[in-house]
Amino acid sequence: MTDFAATRRAFHLPQGIAYLDGNSLGPMPVAARDRVARMMAEEWSEMLIGGWNKAGWYVQPRTVGDRIARLIGAGPEQVVMGDTLSIKVFQAVSAALRLRPGRRVILSDSGNFPSDLYVADGLARAVGAELRVVAPDDVASAITDNLAVLMLTEVDYRTGRRHDMAALTARAHEVGALTVWDLAHSAGALDVDLLGADADFAVGCTYKYLNGGPGAPAFIWIHPRHADAAQPILQGWMGHDAPFAFDLDYRPAAGIERMRVGTPPVIALAALDAALDVWDGVSLSDLRARSVQLTEAFIAGTGAACPDVALNSPRDPALRGSQVSLRHPQAYAVMQALIAAGVIGDFRAPDVLRFGFAPLFNDLDDVERAVETLARVLRDGSWNDEAFHRMSAVT
Ligand SMILES: *Cc1c(COP(=O)(O)O)cnc(C)c1O
């Protein structure tokens, strides 16, 4: 059995708060602070340029990728780190599109994160393809013969609704299309099984449930059957077969390494690598069971104590990721009042209160505290204070 009391202790959680926003920015693992300090003191400062070889900075995008592979049901040498998720979405969709010459349609849904849709739209315009966006429930029926790429985020960032990755991938394969799965709200939250679902491409970020820190690099995975055929569009020197030959012609590296672009973010990778230590000994089926326990308790608790909010997430845990969304007409002010009372979730326009339940550090005490505080804030109307209506740049 996974020791979730021990994983919780691995994080610095400020006193007096219940942190239910690990789906937006994971908290700091204590080991990450120490690891970055050590990286500065022993690697950058003393080794200087030698750190690329001596400290393994050059191979880190792959060694860290191998550690993430276990958490997403992938194999070794199939995942590489770098850039931001938006860039990795571009790389995956453009490479998938190129593997389906003669087809022009990219299909996604309106529950996808805007950046994924913006990137796909920009790509489609540049190469003369078409981005089709349908409602989440209509995705299966919109998979038609001319489809090139199905691009979906497994768990909806706003509602927590979870797509059936295996079923939709099978449906896409029936018509000869490829799939790109965004695991931003899945990796570190669910028992993801990319090889089991027979997916083609996957991408994700590491600053949410993987706790790599603000701006931590993204990952990309390609099924081994495509890895040597996928042609990168962002042909960076670090994805070249021989970067230090400085050839004028691009020749992709073997396998997933070709999805590297430029110089990796070494300091951020050090923090992420330490954050991944927390996952040693965590079973993904235990993770999923705990996630369901926490979200079910929160839904039951708010359902009984908070009549003014409406559940905006699927009631069936099988159809849900590791977050719960509630709707309230004054959601922004209600969330500000909650944050002031030490319960940290977030707001998503126009009327959504979002609560992430990260099994590594959240427990039933957090759930109880969140339910009680929300019930009180709604009952006493304290959210109506003028200060709680002022908007910040980041919500
Ligand atoms: C968080 C998130 C992003 C953010 O992309 P960045 O490039 O890391 O800013 C993109 N897509 C999805 C689905 C997300 O949840």
Six-digit token pair at 29?
């693992």
Rounded to an integer, what distance in angstroms lies between the CA atom of residue 231 and that of residue 79?
16
Closest CA to 119 of 84, 158, 165: 84
d(CA 220, ligand 1 centre) in Å = 13
d(CA 113, ligand 1 centre) in Å = 7
Q: Which residues line ligand 1 (CB under 6 A)?
A: 84-86, 113, 115-116, 153, 157, 182, 184-185, 205
Query: Any idea what the Cα angle at residue 170 is, between residues 168 and 171, rounded to 5°?
Result: 65
32-73 pLDDT, tens digit per residue, is 999 999 999 999 999 999 999 999 999 999 999 999 999 999
270-295 pLDDT, tens digit per residue, is 999 999 999 999 999 999 999 999 99
pTM attached to this predicted model: 0.97
Spell out the CATH class of 4-29+282-389: alpha beta
d(CA 236, ligand 1 centre) in Å = 22
Query: What's the average model confidence in pLDDT over 215-225?
Result: 98
Query: Quick one: fold of 32-277?
Result: Aspartate Aminotransferase; domain 2 (3.40.640)
What is the residue extent of each domain of the chain?
4-29+282-389, 32-277
Six-digit token pair at 380?
């006493």
Six-digit token pair at 14?
């400020």
208 is catalytic: yes
293-331 pLDDT, tens digit per residue, is 999 999 999 999 999 999 999 999 999 999 999 999 999
One fold for both 4-29+282-389 and 32-277?
Answer: no
Nearest Cα residue to atom 14 of ligand 1: 184
The answer to the question of whether 85 is labelled as a binding residue is yes
pLDDT value for 395: 78
The answer to the question of whether 153 is labelled as a binding residue is yes
Cα 87 to Cα 79, 83, 217, 224: the distances in Å are 15, 6, 10, 21
